[in-house]
Structure 1
Amino acid sequence: MVLVKEYRIINNCTVDEYRIAQLYAVAKMSMSETGSGEGVEVIVNEPYDNEKGKGQYTKKIYNFTRQGALDMHEEAWNAYPHCLTVMTSPFIGNCFKVVTETMHLADRGETENALNLDAKTLALRTIDSIDVTEDKDIGAYKEAEDPKRYKSAKTGRGPLTSEDWRKTCEPVMTCYKLVTTEFSWWGFQTAVEKFIQSTMRGMFAVFHRQLFCDTDGWFGMTIEELRAMEDETAKKLLEKRHQELTSKTEFN
């Protein structure tokens, strides 16, 4: 049996703004996490238009070791406001898969079935609402990424100090993220799937804290400016990883 959880993350921005904000945050995060031969490789980033829909397709490799044994492959179909992401591991093969389906809506997390799930999936689903102002599950605390301390100079939004900010903030939108974890390795399935879900929850919390605290970075950008930023980021990631791999090889 697979583990199915729906995470609901309320954000102090509009649905249209979030489209730019998430792409900006992903590009920025990719740069910060690449180093020592590890990090993110952008293999494909191009529009798609086929019988399944229309949007932006990306394929990335997350390098966690130089040998590649722990590398993760990610494919994403971004037909905003709906997005689908599939994570796999070539090393583990068909035993492992994490599927994240997302819908972005202009509400406060009250839509009961935002992803139009069938009865079987609804029976398996559990709901987990993430408050980006909470410090749990985020790892090391960073004051610069604390929504309770950040105030946007461009928009005047923040800091998010009110206990009921999710009920009162304007503008507002919600990310509904359905995460399905599959790890079909007898004896380890339940423990590993719970660990993956816990890890994903932490990643979502950190990402959306950063997204809010980067409001002055992404606010006002156009999608064309964002695509140009993505292309430049992909080039820099490749150059950075190549340089660090080369220097490490020479050193050894």
Structure 2
Amino acid sequence: MLRSYPKHPGLVSLCSLQYRIGQLYMISKHSHEQSDRGEGVEVVQNEPFEDPAHGQGQFTEKRVYLNSKLPSWARAVVPNIFYVTEKAWNYYPYTITGEHCSFLPKFSIHIETKYEDNKGSNDNIFSDSENKDQERDVCFVDIAYDEIPERYYKESEDLRYFKSEKTSRGMLQEGWRDTQEPIMCSYKLVTVKFEVWGLQTRVEQFVHKVVRDVLLLGHRQAFAWVDEWIDMNLDDVREYEKSMHEQTNIKVCHEQQEHSTNSPSLDDIEIHDKVSVCVVSFPLVLFHIDVFCCSCRHDSGGNQSLFFYAKCFLK
């Protein structure tokens, strides 16, 4: 059951052609900054892609390790090494992003994005979407005045006080969307599914909030870092992207390898926690998980008990 389809229009004081460069720069730098202690974004694949309907684009596949960023009630039901797989097809100014987790087969996020040079006035921008007849909540994102989580706040990225030296854009005052030129809007149609009775509403509301916070922070940074990327062309930013991906992968994967020397590897056990692998911390069994250990060849057979120990752990 699909619970909601929030649409997030986010205005940025750039034109859409400029933002194409800024977005790629921001995503690469942001991913590198947020990757630490074995958590963050590992780039698995990043290559050109052609679609019969949308034409030339770029396909990326990433693994987002985020165990420590989950709320306590979510950490209690996921394994120690936990990541979300993100696949994105970028046909700028149109992109499709999908996220899923093999540990939670009933969970998925689907995001459609369109960029236009306007002030968020296109109410029918997703009229051709597969979910066009579903009820949607519209949530405007103000990159200068909407509150962001305190842990992400940086004075240098506060757009109320930031002024670009190279473009002279900023500082963004109240009502800036009506006076600022150039201006563009990032429209996002976010669909979240978590089809587990008893947790669906809580999880989907949490995910929508996280997505909104990420969009707000990312668009703030794209504007605040404009002096770093405004002189780049597409080839320049692709080189920067490649370099940052390599550095970030080393940062994330090195920590993951160190962790794997101290705990069982996911190569041996596809889904596990040394103590418990069943997604149960509530007074009911939500769903079962098949666990197969390649070391001792033991199959849980969809074990539904509170705890399951592979034989090799008991030696």
- TM-score, length-scaled by structure 1: 0.92
Q: Pick one of 98, 117, 125 that aligns with 1:106.
A: 117
Does 1:213 find its partner at 2:224? yes
Change in CA separation of 1:77 and 1:68 when aligned onto 2, cut-off 3 Å: farther
One-letter code aligned to 2:137: T
CA separation in 2, counterparts of 1:114 and 1:87? 22
CA separation in 2, counterparts of 1:82 and 1:249? 39
Give per-residue Cα distances to partners, 1:71-128, cap 9 Å, x unaligned. 00000000000000001011101x0110110000010000011122469634411111
Contact 2:144–2:220 (CA under 8 A) maintained in structure 1: yes
Q: Pick one of 222, 242, 263 that aligns with 1:231.
A: 242
One-letter code aligned to 1:40: V
Q: Pick one of 81, 85, 88 that aligns with 2:97.
A: 85
Contact 2:5–2:134 (CA under 8 A) maintained in structure 1: no
CA separation in 2, counterparts of 1:126 and 1:89? 25
Q: More helix by proportion, 1 or 2? A: 1
Contact 1:102–1:115 (CA under 8 A) maintained in structure 2: no
Change in CA separation of 1:51 and 1:118 when aligned onto 2, cut-off 3 Å: closer
Q: Which has the larger radius of gyration?
A: 2
Corresponding position of 1:27: 28
* Worse overlay, 110-119 or 42-51: 110-119
One-letter code aligned to 1:63: Y
- Aligned identity (percent) is 33
Corresponding position of 2:40: 39
CA separation in 1, counterparts of 2:176 and 2:67? 41
Corresponding position of 1:183: 194
CA separation in 2, counterparts of 1:158 and 1:97? 37
The 5 Å alignment of 1:7-26 reads 7-26=8-27
Q: More strand by proportion, 1 or 2? A: 1
- TM-score, length-scaled by structure 2: 0.74
SS of equivalent to 2:205: helix
Does 1:144 find its partner at 2:156? yes
Corresponding position of 2:289: none
Change in CA separation of 1:230 and 1:216 when aligned onto 2, cut-off 3 Å: same
Does 1:72 find its partner at 2:73? no
* Worse overlay, 7-16 or 204-213: 204-213
* Worse overlay, 12-21 or 137-146: 137-146
Contact 1:138–1:203 (CA under 8 A) maintained in structure 2: no
CA separation in 2, counterparts of 1:80 and 1:44? 18
CA separation in 2, counterparts of 1:215 and 1:225? 14
Corresponding position of 1:56: 58
Gaps of 5+ in 1: none
Contact 1:137–1:201 (CA under 8 A) maintained in structure 2: no
* Worse overlay, 79-88 or 209-218: 209-218
Gaps of 5+ in 2: 69-78, 264-315
One-letter code aligned to 2:208: Q
SS of equivalent to 2:112: strand
CA separation in 2, counterparts of 1:118 and 1:25? 27
